[in-house]
């Protein structure tokens, strides 16, 4: 990009790519948005039932309000089940429903194809470097890794 340095171009590039991914994948997934898919995937990695939306918000690196909207939409679609927390009456436990597992199974091939297409021209070494750089940027910004606990690059 003319007139801007590599840091500025990378910053803009990350945001532009995120927007393009959201637009492309929202239409490809059909039943759920990309952000809803990510929320479901995160819930699937956590011990069930997830104790609260705060746990999902921390894992996604977003606000409680954003997760409440995502979880509410997924609950209305029958993909998540919400129940009062026995430990904290204000919190809601979150569990995947059978419909969510069915969605994962139905969309598995689509998800793999989308990832294959996205990374088709990216060498494995470049992918590894990209992940390392993105994780370093995340740690600089928030102190948190992009990787699940215990995972290493």
* pLDDT tens track for 106-153: 999 999 999 999 999 999 999 999 999 999 999 999 999 998 878 888
| 58 in Cβ contact with 24 (< 8 Å) | no
Quick check: 2 pLDDT over 80?
A: no
Token pair of 74 as six digits: 């997924």
C-alpha 101/C-alpha 139 separation (Å) is: 32
**Per-residue pLDDT band at 10 (split at 50, 70, 90):** very high
pLDDT at position 5, please? 95
Q: Are 95 and 87 in contact (CB under 8 A)?
A: no
CA dihedral 75, 79, 80, 81 (to 10 degrees): 80
Q: What is the mean pLDDT of residues 14-41?
A: 94
> Which residues fall within 8 angstroms of residue 106, CB to CB, at 6 or more apart?
none
CATH of segment(s) 32-142: 1.10.10.10
């Amino acid at each position: 990009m003319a007139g801007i340095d590599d840091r500025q171009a990378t910053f803009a590039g990350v945001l532009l790519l995120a927007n393009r991914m959201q637009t492309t994948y929202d239409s490809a997934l059909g039943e759920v948005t990309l952000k809803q898919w990510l929320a479901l995937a995160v819930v699937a990695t956590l011990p069930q039932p997830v104790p609260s939306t705060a746990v999902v918000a921390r894992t996604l690196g977003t606000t409680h309000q954003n997760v409440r909207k995502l979880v509410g939409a997924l609950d209305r679609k029958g993909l998540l089940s919400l129940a009062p927390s026995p430990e904290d009456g204000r919190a809601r436990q979150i569990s995947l429903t059978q419909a969510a597992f069915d969605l994962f199974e139905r969309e598995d091939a689509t998800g793999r194809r989308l990832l294959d297409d996205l990374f088709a021209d990216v060498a494995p070494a470049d992918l590894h470097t990209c992940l390392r750089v993105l994780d370093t940027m995340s740690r600089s910004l928030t102190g948190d890794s992009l990787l699940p606990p215990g995972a290493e690059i």
